[in-house]
Chains A and B, each alone.
Chain A
C-alpha cells in the first residue's frame, strides 16, 4: 500500500481544501449564539435566545414534524419499491431489465428543476380529481419525494445484491422453494442490513429536499427546508443559525459514531 507517498505540497493543499470544506459549517456555529436580534457574531455576551425562540415557535416545530413524517414515509416506500425491483432484476436480467433500470435512474439524471416542473404538473393534475392527494398535500409530497429518491435506493440495493452468492438461489430452488419463498426466506434475510442503509440514505435525502418541495407546496405543507428557505429569503433570521447548528451537530455525531463503529469492527476482525 505505502509504496507511493503523497508529497508535502499536495498535503498542504489538501489541508487548505479541508479548511475550505469545513469553513461554512464552522462559520454558522458562533452566529447562533448571538444576543442580537439580527445576524451577527456574539461580542462578549453569548446567549441561547435563538434556540429558545426555535423551540417556542410552532411554525418551526411543525415544519420539523412534517419533514420527519414525510421523510419516514418516503424512505419506507422507496426502500420497499427499490428492493422488490432489484430482486426481480437479480433473478432474471436481460436487455429489457437494463432499460427498466435506466428508467429508474431518470429522476437522478434529470435536473432537479425539470423534475420539479414534472412533479408540479403531476400533483396539480391529481388535485383536480382528489385535492387531498395532490398539490400542497402530505401524500403528494410523499409520492414526489419517493420518486426523486428511488434511484439512490435502486443503486444502493443493486450494489448490495451483486455481492450475494447466486448459488443460494439455486440451493433454495433445488430444495423445492417457490419464487415467493426464495425471496422471503432466503434473499431478504441476506439484504436486511442493506435495506436499513438504503432507508437511512433515502431518509436523509427526503429530509433535506428543497428544490422540488418549493414547486409542489405553497402553505399547507411546510417542511423544514422550506421553513429555512423562507427564513433566508427576507431578512435573514438568526433562528436559521440555531437550527443549522443543531443539524450540523446531529450529522457530526452520527458520522463520528459511524466511524467509531467501523474502526471498532476493524479491530475485532482484522
Chain B
C-alpha cells in the first residue's frame, strides 16, 4: 500500500508527523497563552504593565535569577570536580563516579526532594551529625528556607552539568598537558594555564543550560521552601490554581520564554551546542 505511493510522498510520511503534531499541540497553544496574557481579565496590556511595576513580582523575579545563578555556580563546581576525577582516574573510580551521578539522575525529583526533607529536618541526619560532632548546640533551620532549596537544587543539577562538562573535557588532547609538564610547568600551573582555559566554552555552555533548567523549577521550592522562597515558576502555579489570575500567569510565562530565548541564543553564539551533547 505504502510502497505504491510515489517516493516523495513516502518521504513526507516519514518526515512530517512529529513536526505537525508539535505545531498543532504545542506551538499553536502557545499562541493561546499569548492571547490570555493580553485578554484576561480584560483586553489590553495591563498584565505587562503590572509585570513592569509590581514590586512583589519584581522581588519574585530577582529572587529567581539570583537563586538560579547561585545554584548554577555551585552545581558547576561540583560537576567539574566529578568530571575531572572521572577523566583522570582508574576505572574503579570511574565506576563509582558514574554510579553517584546516574543513580540520582534516574530517580524522580520528588523522591530526591523528599530525601532532602528527611535529611535536613530539625531532627534529621545532618543536624544529628553536626550535634554529635559538637559543632552546634541547637538544630540549624535547613528546611522551609532558601538554604534548603539551594542545597536540593544543586543536587538536582549536578548530573545535568556533569555530562556537557565531561564531553568538553574529553576533547582536550592529553598530549598538550603532557607537553606543558615536559616544558617544566608544575601540576597546578598545567591545570590553571592549560587545562582550565580549554574547558571554558564547556563551562559557559553548562552554566547556561543549568540556569535555563532552574528557571522553570517549582517542585523543589514548593516542597522545601515552605512558602518563604517563592520563585517565578511556583508563582505561575499559584496564579493558575489558587488565585485564578490566569492573565498575569500567562504574561509571566511569556516573559520567561523571552528570557530563555535570549539565553539559548547566547549559548548558540558562544559555544557549539553539538560539542556539548556529543
Contacts and interface: CB of A to CB of B under 8 A. Distances in A.
Interface residues of B, number: 89
Main secondary structure of the interface of A (DSSP, over half): helix
Interface stretch (B46-54, B130-138, B249-257): B249-257
B140 interface: no
B33 A121 contact: yes
A159 B217 CA distance: 28
B15 interface: yes
B107 A25 contact: yes
Interface in B76-134: 78, 81-82, 84-85, 88-89, 95-104, 106-119, 121, 123-126
A4 B174 contact: yes
B22 A104 contact: yes
A259 B98 contact: yes
Contact of B26 (A11, A106, A236): A106
A6 B85 contact: yes
B81 A39 contact: no
Contacts of A210: 108-110, 219
A251 B33 CA distance: 37
A23 B119 contact: yes
A26 B217 CA distance: 24
B11 A28 contact: no
B155 interface: yes
Interface string A112-125: 11110111111001
B14 A84 contact: yes
B15 A85 contact: yes
Contacts of B277: 155, 159
A247 to B, nearest CB: 6
Nearest to B259: A111
Nearest to B5: A180
Contact of B29 (A89, A121, A229): A121
Main secondary structure of the interface of B (DSSP, over half): helix
A200 to B, nearest CB: 10
Given A85-B18, A119-B29, A228 B114 contact: yes
A215 B103 contact: no
A3 B177 contact: yes
Contact of B236 (A31, A117, A155): A117
Given A24-B119, A113-B237, A225-B110, A4 B88 contact: yes
B95 A259 contact: yes
A14 B81 contact: yes
Contact of A84 (B17, B233, B250): B17
A154 B15 CA distance: 12
A175 interface: no
B236 A113 contact: yes
A244 B277 CA distance: 30
B3 interface: yes
B36 interface: yes
A252 interface: yes
Interface in A5-32: 5-7, 10-11, 13-14, 17-18, 20-28, 31
A179 B2 CA distance: 10
Nearest to A91: B11
Interface in B205-259: 212-213, 215-219, 223, 232-233, 236-237, 240, 249-250, 253, 256-257
27 contacts: A6-B88, A14-B82, A21-B104, A23-B126, A24-B118, A25-B111, A84-B13, A85-B15, A104-B19, A109-B212, A110-B216, A111-B260, A113-B216, A114-B253, A114-B256, A118-B29, A147-B26, A150-B18, A178-B10, A179-B11, A180-B10, A210-B108, A211-B219, A247-B107, A248-B107, A255-B103, A259-B99
Given A85-B14, A85-B18, 20 more contacts: A6-B88, A11-B85, A13-B81, A21-B158, A22-B100, A23-B115, A24-B119, A85-B17, A85-B19, A104-B19, A107-B26, A111-B260, A114-B256, A154-B18, A178-B10, A207-B108, A232-B110, A232-B113, A244-B111, A251-B107
Top 9 closest A-B pairs, CB basis?
A111-B216, A24-B115, A88-B15, A208-B108, A27-B119, A88-B14, A113-B233, A122-B29, A85-B18
